[in-house]
């Protein structure tokens, strides 16, 4: 057997040195690519919204006052919006006001032979407006609709828990969608 085959892969051999050099080159190439992407992103005006400190877009988002909605779904929606806004510093007057009107409905689906529903959809429609703090000027508005389903089972308690979870999830999804649209509206201002 030739010497090159016997020493292949053993530390200190020419083959092992080439493998290490190849790995080092791959790591260096990945690092340079990440650095290049980072520079390109900052050059195009990328501004992280949720970073500590956040920048101007995050401070604009923190200056939004969210009206108090009614009901379980409305509370879940408001909490989802406020989770993304972050803590507002005390003493700062809000510049914007978020108003919303919510309509909820349920739809029986998967009807069984005895005409009872095996599945129910919770449908939430929210019309929202971003206004100045006084409510005189509307800067952005829109409508968000989400549908979340739950199963109807023989156990009444389990069905009730499923219904409440579906309502909470629908409110959260609507709130997250509105928060995203608020970010876009504030970015364009």
pLDDT: which is higher, 89 or 147? 147
Joined tokens for residue 183: 């970010």
- What pLDDT is stored for residue 91 in this prediction? 60
Q: Which stretch of DSSP H or E encloses residue 147? A: strand 138-151
pTM, whole model, 2 decimals? 0.66
Task: Determine the Cα–Cα distance for residues 176 and 14; give it in Å rounded to an integer.
Answer: 57
In this predicted model, what pLDDT tens digit does every residue of 43-88 receive, in sequence order? 555 555 555 555 566 667 777 888 888 889 999 999 888 887 765 5
- What pLDDT is stored for residue 114 in this prediction? 79
CATH assignment of 58-188? 3.30.160.150
Task: Determine the Cα–Cα distance for residues 176 and 166; give it in Å rounded to an integer.
Answer: 15
- Looking at the DSSP assignment, which residues form a beta bridge with residue 145? 125
The span from the first CA to the last CA of the chain, in angstroms, equals 75
Residue 119 makes CB contacts below 8 A (sequence gap 6+) with: 108, 109, 110, 149, 150, 151, 152
Give the pLDDT band (50/70/90) at residue 102.
Answer: very high
Report how far Cα 137 is from the mean position of its chain's Cα atoms.
27
């Amino acid at each position: 057997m030739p010497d090159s085959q016997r020493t292949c892969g053993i530390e200190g051999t020419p083959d092992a040195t080439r493998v290490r050099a190849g790995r080092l080159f791959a790591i260096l190439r990945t690092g340079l690519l990440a650095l290049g992407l980072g520079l390109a992103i900052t050059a195009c005006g990328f501004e992280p919204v949720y970073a500590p400190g956040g920048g101007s877009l995050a401070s604009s988002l923190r200056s939004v006052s969210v009206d108090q909605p009614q009901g379980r779904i409305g509370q879940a929606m408001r909490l989802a919006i406020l989770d993304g806004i972050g803590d507002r510093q005390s003493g700062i007057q809000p510049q914007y006001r978020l108003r919303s009107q919510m309509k909820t409905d349920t739809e029986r689906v998967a009807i069984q032979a005895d005409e009872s529903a095996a599945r129910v959809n919770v449908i939430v429609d929210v019309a929202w407006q971003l206004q100045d703090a006084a409510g005189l000027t509307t800067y952005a508005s829109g409508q968000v609709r989400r549908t979340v389903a739950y199963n109807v089972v023989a156990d009444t308690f389990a069905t009730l828990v499923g219904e409440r979870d579906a309502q909470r999830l629908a409110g959260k999804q609507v709130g997250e969608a509105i928060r995203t649209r608020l970010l876009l509206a504030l970015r364009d201002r």
